[in-house]
Amino acid sequence: MTQDSVSAASPDIAEKIHKYEEPGKKRLTGLVYWIALFYGGFGIAVAINQTFGFNAFGFVLLDNSYYYLLIAIFLPLAFLIFPAIARHGDRVPFYDWILFALTIVTALYLSYHGGEMVEKGWDTVAPPTPTAMAALMCFLALEGVRRAGGLVLFGVCVVFFTFPLWTEEAPGFLWGIGKTPEELVRSYAMGFESIVGVPMRVAGNILIGFLVFGAALVVTGGGEFFMNFAAALLGKTRGGPAKVSILSSGFFGSLSGSVISNVVTTGQLTIPTMKRTGYSPSYAGAVEACASTGGTLMPPVMGAVAFIMAEFLNIPYGEIVIAAAVPSILFYAALLLQVDCHAAVHGFKGQPAEEIPSMWQTVKDGWYYLFSLALLVYLLVVARLELYAPYFATLALIAATIIFRKKNRFNLRQFMELVVESTKTISNIIAILAGIGVIVGSLAFTGVGGAFSRELVGIAGDNLWLLLAMGAITSFLLGMGVTVSACYIFLAIVMGPALIEFGLDPIASHLFILYWGMLSYITPPVALAAVAASVIAGSKQMETAFTAMRLGSIKFVLPFILVLTPALILRGDSVPLMILTISAVSVAVVLMAAGFEGYLYGVGVIGPVIRGLLFIGAAGFLYPNPQGYAIAAVGTVVVYGAVWYVRRRQLAS
């Protein structure tokens, strides 16, 4: 089912869905399109030149000059692509052109004087002209994050932007080192801990290549391939459309990194198909919302956050990929088991045979997508070439589509589409990360970030559970209405050190923050992913949100297991403990799916008492204790055996 058919089936749905689509698509026409193509293409070429050291333009820039140059290219484009006001979504007013030119001049000035600002310490004392340019840069960064990240994130950035002005009057641990307005704008715009701090360094050094790779997959038809691959693999099984939704959204979400974009893109195909099979609108929307949310935590790409995490922890990105693999697989296994049990209870069938593509034909026509992903994983995990991996994978994908594809080979039109799509995505990320840099700088300048961590540890005392509860609540609340990157960066500064200081594994601590920050996408009252899916499904928003919360329940538990038992993320010296932990959590996932949906494999539909006992058994397998695992195993076997025996006696009589 295509997007047009969805819109035709429901005349109002196109307008409602548009609210949740990524902004900027309507503006990428005419002059803006050509500027994005050539100016954005030049920016990508600059990033490639800097990464590989080709010296193609006669020089390789110093770090801060390079980051300002990226801002000079992609932040101005954000003002042309993303409207200041929603109703201006299809035209570019005169003031956007003024901001476009002003941003180029300001950022190029800072780039040109990059070496001088370091040598003369302009981040603390600077002449009037650089100070004025710094003030302009701060204003432009805040306006950029408002357009690309939304009002909630903009509000958070403004609060932290002004924080150093009044921190000396703040009580308790909020007290910090204050700054005058002139000192403030210099520190934000010309220091190394703010606008061109960690987030921008990650974008300039690593992230651009992965965004180009993701765009290459989309432009060459990767989204359609993964949808067909999932359909050929699981479409015929009971409840097949829901399983196709889970797998395809997992693939697409890992590459796009945007939860809402994932819902809107894949959901317009998967949700109507689920409804035709028999799933209720709210259940279909909830499945898509959960699958899309989990996609941003799924290796190998995981959106932008994993790269920032690697930078914060100062470890290779491949270690993040390895650590995130098992929890992501368990989450998707939980979703697949629940929709399978739900289909068994309600007697849902798979898709009609005529709608299922041939697995052989699908792989034959698109094997290079799997090859490019496998190459990317190899270069990341085995070769540890994080900087170069996405570019090599992109070249391999494009070369394969030129050499081996018989129809619709990669051509000039697709190349132009690749550049424009990459430019739009990079502009969005640069605009958001420049604004988020203000948060990082504010906490660093004032010293409040470290004080907040120490305060949390002091409040928790020796109670690890209290510290984890505070971390979970803080992550969840901050995750409401802001981007995943913004939520993670803030909490990595104030919450991450507190968890690590308590003796917890660093990667597990940061994954704990990331997982809880993501939960607001499927949890009321915000539940943005569920709300977007409900628009497509035509279901009640809160009903869809609560269903999504139930389907994604394992995600509420996994973060605690990660920090209590790092063996789940393959951290530690004991391989037997890793196997035992993963096996125990896997059994818990099966029991939870059976309990939530009321269906036990080998038995059939079960009542509330047995479901309750299954939840108790699941809790025993989730709590990291080998003795608890043994008790839970014995109890589960006894309950299962008794239920199986009674059911067989009933059938025999």
The pLDDT of residue 14: 54
Distances (CA, A) of 541 to 184, 337, 526: 43, 24, 10
The pLDDT of residue 59: 64
Q: What is the pLDDT of residues 34-77, one digit of tens each?
A: 999 999 999 999 999 999 988 876 666 777 899 999 999 999 99
Q: How far apart are the first and last CA of the chain?
A: 47
Q: What are phi and psi of 605, to 5 degrees?
A: -70, 135
Maximum mean pLDDT: which of 21-30, 192-201, 297-306, 518-527? 192-201
| Tokens of residue 104, six digits | 């180029």
Distance CA 112, CA 65 (A): 7
The pLDDT of residue 351: 84
Q: Which residue has the higher pLDDT, 303 or 184?
A: 184
Average pLDDT over residues 473-494: 78
Average pLDDT over residues 553-563: 89
Q: What is the DSSP letter of 379?
A: I
The pLDDT of residue 12: 54
pTM attached to this predicted model: 0.87
The percent of the chain in helix, strand and coil, each rounded to the nearest 5, is: 75, 0, 25
Q: What is the pLDDT of residues 366-396, one digit of tens each?
A: 999 999 989 998 998 888 888 899 999 999 9
Predicted confidence (pLDDT) at residue 9 exceeds the cutoff of 70 = no
Burial of 73 (0-12, 13-18, 19+ CB in 10 A): buried
Q: What is the pLDDT of residues 141-162, one digit of tens each?
A: 999 999 988 888 899 899 999 9
| Tokens of residue 193, six digits | 């801990």
pLDDT-based confidence at 599, cuts 50/70/90? very high
The pLDDT of residue 7: 39
Predicted confidence (pLDDT) at residue 586 exceeds the cutoff of 50 = yes
| Tokens of residue 598, six digits | 């009321």
Mean pLDDT for the chain? Answer: 87
